[in-house]
Structure 1
């Protein structure tokens, strides 16, 4: 399972490996929260949807990007809150969570640690033959793929 947390949008993706060393995208999505709701209500919504995804797909492990320092402290705090929920939800289900730097994720997917979001999206479309329209779910898919590469 790959996770790309954010307070407004949280991306998630489920990837499985097959014996012939192929990766298959089983499911992906984006959790959207309403800015009209309180932060606690938004965090509960993220948790509830991630819990449902975990219970539906029963991933063996999860991965998330390491946090980066943002120049806006309020944005960093909100990201940290959503990230905490994204780390805690699989953890409560005894699903291990591994963290990767953004450069490691990009390098795993494109071969270039400084690739743009567009380059990552293009490569994911080629690998998985999926119509990915959201950077949130494609970032989660990239994290899941990165983790899959590191497990082999």
Structure 2
């Protein structure tokens, strides 16, 4: 995604020092990321993309690729904190939760190695903050991100939109005690 126009925020947010947030939608094959900066009450998209691992690679190779990609992003953007989706799963898919936990773990390790604090947010909380509906569909989340960041089009793939939503939510929940 290319950087775009900033979004004006009012109130106390306008008086806060600039903050850079890295949002992460963790995955073993594809992890979405989005870097936003909030300065003088305005959101600005800095960069967004995905970190991909090879689908048929051994798990240790996938985890190394994820860690390496995240380390590069952290070094390049030096965010004030990382906002990451909290692990969740349905009891019918415990293997998925374990694999996601591996990916999330190496992402958090990269942040810890870079000295970047990590804040975790439940997917339903992110959806509630972004849309008012804790069970909003992906299309509604993409539209909410497009509107909040004043993008010309919805961010795709959905992993990128989710990462940007997590970053935006991270800002709102960290800077607005009424939402926390």
> Shared fold (TM-score greater than 0.5)?
yes
**Partner residue, 1:143:** 166
State the SS of the aligned residue for 1:52: helix
Structure-to-structure mapping, 1:54-69, within 5 angstroms? 54-69=74-89
**Partner residue, 1:90:** 111
Corresponding position: 1:29 with 2:49: yes
How far 1:92 moved relative to its partner?
1.2
How far 1:10 moved relative to its partner?
0.5
Higher gyration radius (CA):
2
Q: CA RMSD in A?
A: 1.2
State the SS of the aligned residue for 2:118: strand
**Scaled by the length of structure 1, what TM-score is found?**
0.94
Moved >6 Å (runs of 4+): none
| Larger relative contact order (CA 8 Å, sep ≥ 6) | 1
Q: What are structure 2's unaligned runs of at least 5 residues?
A: 1-21, 176-180
**Scaled by the length of structure 2, what TM-score is found?**
0.80
Equivalent of 2:132, from 84, 107, 111? 111
State the SS of the aligned residue for 2:129: helix
Matches of 1:23 and 1:85 in 2, distance apart?
28
Corresponding position: 1:13 with 2:34: yes
